[in-house]
Chains A and B, each alone.
Chain A
């Protein structure tokens, strides 16, 4: 299945991309599974997505958690805690 990943703000800069299409060899992974795939890339990915870092997840533009399931065609956004207002 294919996922669209979106990176925002500081994470967009650290990963050097605002989005990417990720092909996953699994039918119904959780957000946690996807994060683990990204952490395995090492470098900025491992640093920014390590367990002691604070970041947020949205699946199809709704806030989600590590246990949220993702499916084919979903949009998974990863971003720092928000600072608007």
Chain B
């Protein structure tokens, strides 16, 4: 179980390799990569700036991982989240989960993303031709997190 918050990009292959190699019991590795899109709510997005609450972020992410570990029989997990200014096609977030079988890995990976989107203290601000604006939270994200209750 580990989490990282960083400005730098991440190497998906290297991160997955590390999780896959860590334990001979691993039979499945699931991963998710979130990427900056060039369009949001009909407007062109030139850059996306991510802010977080440094004192709380790692703790919140570790709690989400601990919750996943309680619910599914997973071996390891990793969350890497970037902050700072990003542009379309840049990677924002990586979640990797290992387990013996795919079902647990897929579910835990989706759970981690759904919880991260509603509980981890990150905020996005996007630059569009009509100015900068904070991204509003979506009710669909709340609904996605709600179904794991």
Q: Within the complex, which residue of B55, B56, B59, B81 is in contact with A84, where a contact is CB–CB below 8 Å?
A: B81
B136 in the interface (beta carbon within 8 A):
yes
Are the CB atoms of B53 and A6 closer together than 8 Å?
Answer: yes
Knowing A77-B53, A85-B113, say if A58 contacts B121 (CB, 8 Å): yes
Smallest CB gap from B95: residue in A:
A85
B118 in the interface (beta carbon within 8 A):
yes
B137 in the interface (beta carbon within 8 A):
yes
Are the CB atoms of A10 and B56 closer together than 8 Å?
Answer: no
Are the CB atoms of A83 and B53 closer together than 8 Å?
Answer: no
Q: Within the complex, which residue of A54, A79, A84 is in contact with B124, where a contact is CB–CB below 8 Å?
A: A84
On chain A, the number of residues with a Cβ less than 8 Å from chain B's Cβ atoms is 18
B120 in the interface (beta carbon within 8 A):
yes
Knowing A6-B53, A8-B53, A58-B53, say if A85 contacts B93 (CB, 8 Å): yes
Contacts of B101 in A (CB 8 A): none
Are the CB atoms of B53 and A79 closer together than 8 Å?
Answer: yes
Q: Which of A6-47 contact B (CB under 8 A)?
A: 6, 8-10
B51 in the interface (beta carbon within 8 A):
yes
B-to-A contact residues, CB < 8 Å = 34, 50-53, 55-56, 59-60, 81, 92-93, 113, 116-125, 134-137
User: What are 28 A-B interface contacts by the 8 Å CB criterion?
Assistant: A6-B53, A8-B51, A8-B123, A9-B123, A54-B137, A58-B56, A61-B56, A61-B59, A63-B119, A75-B55, A77-B53, A77-B121, A80-B134, A80-B137, A82-B117, A82-B118, A82-B119, A83-B117, A83-B136, A83-B137, A84-B52, A84-B81, A84-B116, A84-B124, A85-B34, A85-B113, A85-B116, A85-B122
